[in-house]
Amino acid sequence: MTDDVPHSLRSDALDNRERILDAARALFSADGLDVPMREIARRAGVGPATLYRRFPTKQALVAEAFADQLTACRAIVDEGSADPDPWRGLCLVIERICELHARDRGFTQAFLSSFPGAVDAAASREYTVTAVASLAQRAKEAGRLRPDFVLDDLIVILMANQGIHAASAGTQVAASRRFAALAIQALEARPGQAPLPPAVRLASAVQASPR
């Protein structure tokens, strides 16, 4: 019996942690990152003290809740960067990242740093931005990406993609795919294109990054 009690406690603690993360993901996805911690605890069926014992700050909870998305984002960028055709690789990155973000509003906010400290910017976001910058430069040199593209344009695309709202997750993803296709067509280099207006910096995700 003595051996069973610690095991049971560990099991309960693990169950609480998973319920908290499931509740946080659902609420962040539906309502963004401004959801109160007490509402997350209520949805998870635990007390606020249990929530704060597992996750002392909302930053810690957000980072853990989006760990899988950050890993997926990095894998997408790695796959696009490995494509010998940089334009095709860049298109893949835009399509897949837009879909990833369409499935989770909160992840877009975290990725764009609208919630300070929500993600490990140095290790995750910066890696993604730097890799996309390199891929975009190669696509420009290949003559496929319009020469006036800057990384801020990717932030604009993600922000616009975040604004898509639909009655169901499937419809939202379908709309995001269409939007990504429209954005890609706008980014492709074509003879006689009119130059774009000056770029505007909208988020810290591209600050101090190559343009």
Structural domain including 90 reads 67-206
If asked whether residues 99 and 53 sit together in one domain, one would say: no
- Is there a domain that residue 158 lies in? yes
* pLDDT over 80 at 110, yes or no: no
Mean pLDDT of the chain: 84
For residue 115, the model assigns a pLDDT of 53
If asked whether residues 35 and 114 sit together in one domain, one would say: no
- Is there a domain that residue 211 lies in? no
Q: What is the pLDDT of residues 47-67, one digit of tens each?
A: 999 999 999 988 889 888 888
Q: Residue range 106-135: average pLDDT?
A: 71
If asked whether residues 75 and 146 sit together in one domain, one would say: yes
**Which of 15, 42, 62 delimits the end of a domain?**
62
% of the chain residues with pLDDT over 90: 51
- Two structure tokens written together for 205: 């995700």
**Which of 14, 32, 62 delimits the end of a domain?**
62
Instruction: Kindly report each contact of residues 181-185 with a partner whose C-beta sits within 8 Å and lies 24 or more positions away, as own/partner.
Output: 181/95, 183/94, 183/98, 183/157, 184/91, 184/94, 184/95
What's the structural domain count of the chain? 2
If asked whether residues 113 and 12 sit together in one domain, one would say: no
CATH number, domain of 52, equals 1.10.10.60
- Is there a domain that residue 120 lies in? yes
CATH number, domain of 160, equals 1.10.357
If asked whether residues 147 and 184 sit together in one domain, one would say: yes
If asked whether residues 200 and 164 sit together in one domain, one would say: yes
For residue 142, the model assigns a pLDDT of 97
If asked whether residues 11 and 85 sit together in one domain, one would say: no
